C-alpha cells in the first residue's frame, strides 16, 4: 500500500501492524457501534413512550455520534470501517488484500452479533425476532448503502482524512431519517439486529433482502466513485 493511501481516511495508519490487532479493532468498534444503536433504541422507546416520533431522531443522533467517535478513536489502527461494505469495496478496488478483507469482515460480523445480543442483555429485554420491511426494503437499503459508500469513498479519494468521520456521521443522520428502513446500510448491523431488542431489531425475513440491497448499493457507489474520482496513483 502506498503512503498516499495511508494518509486517507478509512485506511490504517500502519498496514504493517499485526492483522489480529487491526481486525480486533474492527470487531470491538462494530460491537460498540451496534450496542450503542440498539441500546439507544431501547432507551428512547422507554423515555418517549408518549411521543414515539422522537425515537428515530434520537437513534439517528446516537448512531452518528457513536460512529464518529469510534472512527476517530480506532481509525488509525484499522481504518475505522466497522462495516463489511467498506472493507469489501476496498478489496474490489484493489486497496486491500483478500486475507485482510476476510479477517476484517469476520471480526465485524462477530462484533455486530455480540453488540446486538449484549444490548438486549444489558437492558434485560428479550430479542423480539420481528421488525423490518422484508423484500420491500431492498430498494431502500440500496439507496441508503449507496449514499453511505459514496460519502466514505469520496472522502477517501479526496484525502479528507480529518473530515471523513464527520461526513459519514452527518450522512447517517440523514439516511436514518430519510429512508423507510431507517438506513441499516451495514451487514454487520443487520446481523446484530437479528438478535437485538427494541426498535433496531429485525426479523429473519428481512435479513437477506437487506443484505442484497446493501451489496447492490455498495457496487453502485463503487461505480460512481470510479467515474468521479479516477485514481492517478498506483496502489500496491
C-beta of residue 35 within 8 angstroms of C-beta of residue 101: no
Low-confidence ranges of the chain (pLDDT < 70): 1-7, 232-236
CATH class, 3-228 region: mainly alpha
One DSSP character per residue, 49-103 reads TT-GGGHHHHHHHHHHHHHHHHHHHHHHHH-S--SHHHHHHHHHTTSS-HHHHHH
On whether the CB atoms of residues 71 and 80 are closer than 8 A, the answer is yes
Structure confidence by residue, pLDDT tens digits, 186-229:
999 999 999 999 999 999 999 999 999 999 999 999 999 999 98
SS (H, E, C) 105-171: HHHHHHHHHHHHHHHHHHCCCCCCCCCCCHHHHHHHHHHHHHHHHHHHHHHHHCCCCCCHHHHHHHH
- Residue-level pLDDT at 128: 72
pLDDT at residue 170 in the model: 96
Query: What distance in Å separates the CA atoms of residue 52 and residue 18, rounded to the nearest whole number?
Result: 46
Residue with cell string 443522533: 61
pLDDT in the model for residue 7? 59
Instruction: Give the CA count within 13 Å in the CB-facing half-sphere of 158.
Output: 13
The C-alpha atoms of residue 174 and residue 156 are separated, in whole angstroms, by 20
In the chain, what are the domain boundaries? 3-228
Is pTM, for the whole model, over 0.95? no
Report residue 48 as a C-alpha cell. 418517549
Give the pLDDT confidence score for residue 232 in this predicted structure: 53
Contact 26, 111 (CB under 8 A): yes
Amino acid at each position: 500500500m502506498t503512503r498516499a493511501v495511508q494518509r486517507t481516511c478509512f485506511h490504517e495508519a500502519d498496514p504493517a501492524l499485526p492483522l489480529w490487532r487491526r481486525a480486533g479493532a474492527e470487531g470491538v468498534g462494530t460491537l460498540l457501534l451496534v450496542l450503542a444503536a440498539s441500546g439507544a433504541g431501547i432507551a428512547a422507546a422507554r423515555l418517549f413512550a408518549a411521543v414515539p416520533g422522537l425515537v428515530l431522531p434520537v437513534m439517528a443522533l446516537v448512531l452518528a455520534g457513536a460512529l464518529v467517535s469510534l472512527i476517530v478513536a480506532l481509525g488509525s489502527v484499522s481504518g475505522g470501517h466497522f462495516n463489511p461494505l467498506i472493507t469489501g469495496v476496498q478489496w474490489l478496488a484493489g486497496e486491500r488484500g483478500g486475507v485482510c478483507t476476510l479477517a476484517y469482515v469476520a471480526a465485524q460480523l462477530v462484533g455486530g452479533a455480540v453488540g446486538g445480543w449484549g444490548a438486549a442483555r444489558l437492558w434485560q429485554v428479550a430479542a423480539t425476532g420481528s421488525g423490518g420491511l422484508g423484500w420491500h426494503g431492498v430498494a431502500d437499503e440500496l439507496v441508503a448503502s449507496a449514499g453511505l459508500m459514496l460519502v466514505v469513498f469520496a472522502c477517501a479519494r479526496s484525502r479528507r482524512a480529518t473530515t471523513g468521520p464527520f461526513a459519514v456521521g452527518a450522512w447517517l443522520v440523514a439516511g436514518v431519517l430519510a429512508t423507510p428502513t431507517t438506513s441499516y446500510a451495514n451487514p454487520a448491523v443487520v446481523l446484530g439486529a437479528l438478535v437485538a431488542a427494541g426498535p433496531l431489531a429485525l426479523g429473519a425475513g428481512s435479513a437477506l433482502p437487506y443484505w442484497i440491497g446493501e451489496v447492490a448499493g455498495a457496487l453502485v457507489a463503487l461505480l460512481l466513485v470510479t467515474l468521479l474520482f479516477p485514481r492517478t496513483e498506483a496502489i500496491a
